[in-house]
Amino acid sequence: MMDVPNRNALYVPPFPRRTAGPVPVWRGFFGERARTAVYGWSQRAFELDYFKRNVFGHNVHIPLHPDLVQHVLLDNAANYVKPDLVKKLLVPTIGRGLLSSDGPLWREQRRIVAANFAPAAVDTLVPAFAGAASAAAEGWDRGGVRDMAAEATATTMRVISDTLFAGDPRLTTDAAMAHITAALEGVSEARLQVLLGLPLIPLSLRGLAGRRGQRFLRSTLTAVVRDRLPDGGPDDFLGKLIRALNERFEPREALALAVDNAATFYLAGHETTANAVTWALFLLSEQAELQEQTAQEARKAIAVGSQDPELPDRLPLLRRLLEESLRLYPPVPRFDRQAVEADRIGESEVAPGDFISIWPWLIHRHCKLWDEPDAFDPDRFAAGRVERHRFQYLPFGGGPRLCVGARFAMAEALTVLAHWLARWRFQPVPGREVRPSGMVTLRPAGGLPLRISPVSSG
Ligand code: HEM
């Protein structure tokens, strides 16, 4: 970790040390850099418009200027698909669901699920978000030190289960939570094997736990889907999904895609949002005065109506804070594409098969795009502030593959945070360092223990 001068008294939360010179590619496969995507960057990576690397014979383009990012994600999006290597890594867990498919299959699936995530549909879910937040806090008794990362994960897992899978209890057990964490951690090991073209055989205890997690997830969700056959059951996300797939695909394919999408939405829908809530709580725990202001805003908003669809809209300060938190600690710090045909990204030639890595972590802290990029300043997101390029802030990606759950995630995170802040105070545990960790999603290493106390106790 590195201390940065605190100019203009803005708070600078911790971020990994940057080297002065370039970092060799092989470093990416050893030590902390192999476990955490945001480690081992040089300062140059936060200053250039574009750079290129060669990783085991693969060209990897890293566009950082928002115009170049827009070219890949929007203007020529049809030429940039999900990489085969990423699919190989993800298919055992999420199959050919929305996140890991391309072309007509992706388009068809996106059309099927889109209505569930339209603003009006998300609005109806606010009571479920509020209910899960309150249920979690009921177990906190009079406070003490709690791992708020685990609390956030249990809460968002419950939200996904309640809102998309009619509250199926098989999806919210402690075992389910442990298996999913293991499955995500197993991906960093598998990543090296996939890059080297090796078979996906677990090589370590972590890899084995990952494989067990993956199998648990697939078998549990297959059982959940099978129990809904033949007609899909209740008219919720899963029921609608099963019925729509049955209409468009033959039965075996429809069943496979239903399980793939159940796994996709279960995973993509809770881990990221849990990290967003966790980082926001971390930033608030470090800034008592700001926490008090957001808590007051939350109490007022909840007094008007604790579960009504407009609750997230009555939290402008908390929203700015969450947006800034998603800038500084994007839960998805990088995502990738692969070129179908030859193209140019700015001045650089792209060959068919080349990889393009989009790095919210680098773009969100880029020196040319932000004033004091590493400093926490929620007012960057205040109405009327300097116009931003829409591809310089990408916590939810961009273009046609923009996160389908973005509105769901924002409404959920705001509702959960408001309910918790209104009644609880969160303080850091002295002497404990918080550092980002994770290859696929970004979370605090070892969780986020915070000292919590009920607001009424003063
Ligand atoms: C703060 C929370 C979240 C963050 C930061 C996040 C981030 C992202 C990003 C960056 C992408 C684009 C990846 C790419 O282009 O390769 C994405 C896609 C996706 N997200 Fe999210 N997400 C969040 C919450 C959710 C939620 C709540 C759901 C569902 C309930 C969800 C479901 C998906 C799906 C299915 C895709 C694939 C969309 C497609 O390819 O058409 N996400 N997300």
pLDDT in tens, 32-48: 666 677 888 899 999 99
pLDDT digits (tens, 9 = 90+) for 261-290: 999 999 899 989 999 999 999 999 999 999
Q: How confident is the model at residue 457 (pLDDT cuts 50, 70, 90)?
A: very low
Mean pLDDT score, 106-113: 96
Mean pLDDT score, 323-340: 96
Q: Are 418 and 129 in contact (CB under 8 A)?
A: no
Q: Is the confidence at residue 458, as pLDDT, over 90?
A: no
Ligand 1 centre from 230 Cα, in Å? 29
Supply the mean pLDDT for the chain.
90
Nearest CA to ligand 1 atom 1: 273
Q: How confident is the model at residue 237 (pLDDT cuts 50, 70, 90)?
A: very high
113 CB within 6 A, ligand 1: no
Mean pLDDT score, 393-400: 98
Q: Which atom number of ligand 1 is nearest to the Cα of residue 409?
A: 27
Q: Is the confidence at residue 63, as pLDDT, over 70?
A: yes
Q: Which atom number of ligand 1 is nearest to the Cα of residue 156?
A: 27
381 CB within 6 A, ligand 1: no
Ligand 1 centre from 370 Cα, in Å? 24
* SS3 assignment, position 16: coil
User: Phi and psi at residue 453, in whole multiples of 5°?
Assistant: -145, 145
332 CB within 6 A, ligand 1: yes
pLDDT digits (tens, 9 = 90+) for 67-91: 999 999 999 999 999 999 888 888 8
Q: Is the confidence at residue 23, as pLDDT, over 70?
A: no
Q: Which atom number of ligand 1 is nearest to the Cα of residue 82?
A: 16
Q: Is the confidence at residue 97, as pLDDT, over 80?
A: yes
Q: Which atom number of ligand 1 is nearest to the Cα of residue 275?
A: 1
Q: What pLDDT, on a 0 to 100 scale, did the predictor assign at position 2?
A: 41
Q: How confident is the model at residue 4 (pLDDT cuts 50, 70, 90)?
A: very low
Name the β-bridge partners of 63: 50
Give, in degrees to the nearest 5, the angle at Cα 417 between 414 and 418.
80
State CA 214 to chain mean position distance. Answer: 19
Q: What pLDDT, on a 0 to 100 scale, did the predictor assign at position 279?
A: 98
The three-state (H, E, C) secondary structure of 230-257, written as one string: CCCCCCCHHHHHHHHHHHHCCHHHHHHH
Mean pLDDT score, 386-413: 96
Rounded-to-integer distance, Cα 455 and Cα 140, Å? 13
414 CB within 6 A, ligand 1: no
Ligand 1 centre from 336 Cα, in Å? 13
Rounded-to-integer distance, Cα 9 and Cα 244, Å? 54
116 CB within 6 A, ligand 1: no
Q: Are 317 and 287 in contact (CB under 8 A)?
A: no
| Nearest CA-CA partner of 225 in 212, 240, 207 | 240
401 CB within 6 A, ligand 1: yes
Rounded-to-integer distance, Cα 280 and Cα 328, Å? 10
Nearest CA to ligand 1 atom 30: 269
Rounded-to-integer distance, Cα 94 and Cα 122, Å? 23
Q: Are 176 and 216 in contact (CB under 8 A)?
A: yes
99 CB within 6 A, ligand 1: yes
Q: What pLDDT, on a 0 to 100 scale, did the predictor assign at position 188?
A: 65
Q: Which atom number of ligand 1 is nearest to the Cα of residue 331?
A: 5
265 CB within 6 A, ligand 1: yes
Q: Is the confidence at residue 306, as pLDDT, over 80?
A: yes
Share of residues in the chain with pLDDT > 70 (%): 91
Ligand 1 centre from 2 Cα, in Å? 31
Q: What pLDDT, on a 0 to 100 scale, did the predictor assign at position 174?
A: 86
Mean pLDDT score, 239-265: 95
Mean pLDDT score, 304-320: 96
Q: What pLDDT, on a 0 to 100 scale, did the predictor assign at position 29?
A: 61
pLDDT digits (tens, 9 = 90+) for 188-224: 666 666 665 666 666 677 778 888 988 999 999 999 9
97 CB within 6 A, ligand 1: no
Which of 272, 337, 443 has most ligand 1 atoms within 8 Å of CB, for mutation? 272
Q: Which atom number of ligand 1 is nearest to the Cα of residue 164?
A: 30
Name the β-bridge partners of 336: 357
